[in-house]
Amino acid sequence: MLEKPDSTHEKKRISSLLLMLSTLVSRLLGIVRVRLISAFFGADGTADVLNFTFSIPNNIRKLLAEGALSSAFIPVLTKAVKQDESSLETSHAQHLLARILGFQAVVLIPLTIFVWIFPESVITFLSDFSDAHQIAMASVLLKYFIIYLFIISVTAVIQAALNCRSIFHISALAPLIFSTTVIFSIIFLSSRFGAYAMGMGVLAGGFLQFFFQLAAYYKSGYRLSFSFQFADPNFRVVLRTFIPVLLTSGIFAVTQQVSFYLASRLPTGAVTALSNAVVFWQMPFGVFYVSIATVFFPAMSKDFQKNDVKGLQENLEKGIGYIVVFLLPSAIILFFLSREVVFSILLSGKFTEENAKRTADALMAFMPGLVFAGLFNYVQRFFYSIQTVYNAVKAAIIYAILDISITILCIVMNFDVVSLGIGNSTAYIAAFIIQMHLVRKELPGLLPGAAAFRNFLRVLAANSPLVILLIVYKYFAGVWYITGSLLRNFLLLIIIGAVCGLTVFTSYRLFSVDFLYRKKA
């Protein structure tokens, strides 16, 4: 029985809101984690080692977990689930999942063994650390983190299977367990184990996140099995798609790793300033873009499998519209309040005023590109869903060249860690414009239409009261945040944020902007 369009949209709305709420809590916990690292370890060599080393498995995860591999196999898994629904005697999805897990094992087990044998060689190759103590510490931490990489990669396959079954709440809550475990480890174990406490917390959190989703995975009728029989037709389709998607995600991972490398060549504390700025940047990006893409990506894949051009058009427009609706005010708020946010949350313990200023300046430089980063990544998912990944590869190459080139130019001009934000923002803006040209050239009928453009203008107008409010605030407020991470400052920051949020909510209602709000019939 076919679902009514209103019913389908309502499910997407509820799923998106649930993911946004849980991701918001997860990102807040991530900021708490950053604050604890800053307070316990400051922005000295230890904090740089922690942030740099953890970036290595995170970048590889984008290739073999929820990044490239998920983007390649979710459209095929969606088709396999549909095949299973039409025949009770087949298990196309289970067979595909087993082969995906087997493929991960073939790649990650040798990588894990290599890292455990040659950890120092990996660190010295990827970083510019010269201090023997930093290299030794990073080498030990990398052993923890590489095991976490294997666990989280398997977990990503489980999560994709649940999402294709429209089970979003389990995968939405799982990251909360991870963040809580890491926070607990830093608070209670760092006095005894130092920086290694975070490694223990990451490893324990990865296992708990895995087991939390495993129960729902089995309840959905799947088994955790590994198959190395890669001759399966569905897996071959995944592999053909995975190679160009891997290239695309690899470009992004290398670009980010280059950014951390360039930061490691700047004066001490730059890596931590970059890492902290990215955490704050990822707050709205993760809450809004990731939540929207998680719901709409499988939906676009289903539309493509059903040859539903109208549905594909609607999901493309809806996703783009929601990303602008949520990320635009987020970018405006963080641009104007970058120092208030960083000083009120991080300025304590060993984290100095100069450290806070560098982080805030970097964060401000990232903000102009926030909306375009969401749009760019969403259209990349659109390319994956309609299996035109060569367009995604072209767009990724353009982004990487622009990001690295502009960043290096800004570093030469002595812009310090701000260079990384300028390069990132400029690259996303330019790459998205080129990306939409690729959409127009490949599928002109699927470009957002006049109605979508009018909605975009309406969103811009609806955010003007927020801009005016923040300009007035900056003129009269002064530098109250300079005293750092005090309860008074934190509460004041919450009040200012609440006023900004209320302003956006009211303005969106007055301008009739669709922001997942359920209108009364």
CB 463 within 8 A of CB 332: yes
% of residues, the chain, pLDDT over 90: 38
Q: How far apart are CA 53 and CA 126, in angstroms?
A: 10
The whole-number pLDDT of residue 32 equals 82
Structure confidence by residue, pLDDT tens digits, 29-55: 877 887 788 778 765 578 788 878 888
Average pLDDT, the chain: 85
Please state, in angstroms and rounded to a whole number, the distance separating the CA atoms of residues 399 and 375: 13
Neighbours of 141 (CB within 10 A): 23
CB atoms within 10 A of CB 453: 12
In degrees to the nearest 10, what's the CA dihedral of 148, 293, 397, 71? 60
- Specify if 521 maps to a domain: no
Q: What is the pTM of this model?
A: 0.74
Task: Please report whether residue 516 resides in a domain.
Answer: no
Residue 518 lies in a domain: no
The boundaries of the domain holding residue 445 are 5-510
Task: Check residue 1 and give its pLDDT.
Answer: 39
Say which residues have a Cβ less than 8 Å from residue 237's Cβ, sequence separation at least 6: 76
Cα 43 off chain centre by: 23
CB neighbours of residue 44 within 10 Å? 16
pLDDT band at 87 (very low <50, low <70, confident <90, very high): low
Q: Kindly report, residue by residue over 449-497, the tens digit of the pLDDT.
A: 666 778 889 999 999 999 999 999 999 999 999 998 888 998 999 999 9
Domain-embedded: residue 364: yes
Kindly write down the DSSP assignment for every residue of 466-484, as one continuous string.
HHHHHHHHHHHH-SGGGG-
* Res. 5: pLDDT tops 60: no
pLDDT tens for 422-460 read 999 999 999 999 988 888 776 666 666 666 778 889 999
**Domain annotation covers residue 273:** yes
Mean pLDDT of 67-73: 69
Considering the domain boundaries, does residue 133 fall inside one?
A: yes
pLDDT classification of 8: cutoffs 50, 70, 90: low
Is residue 391 pLDDT above 80, yes or no? yes
515 domain-assigned: no
What pLDDT, on a 0 to 100 scale, did the predictor assign at position 47? 79
Contact predicate 422/407, CB 8 Å = yes
Number of structural domains in the chain: 1
- Band of residue 10 on the pLDDT scale cut at 50, 70, 90: low
Q: What is the pLDDT of residues 319-336, one digit of tens each?
A: 898 999 999 999 999 999
Evaluate if residue 520 carries a pLDDT over 50.
no
Digit-coded pLDDT (tens) for 266-302: 888 888 889 889 889 988 998 888 888 888 887 888 7
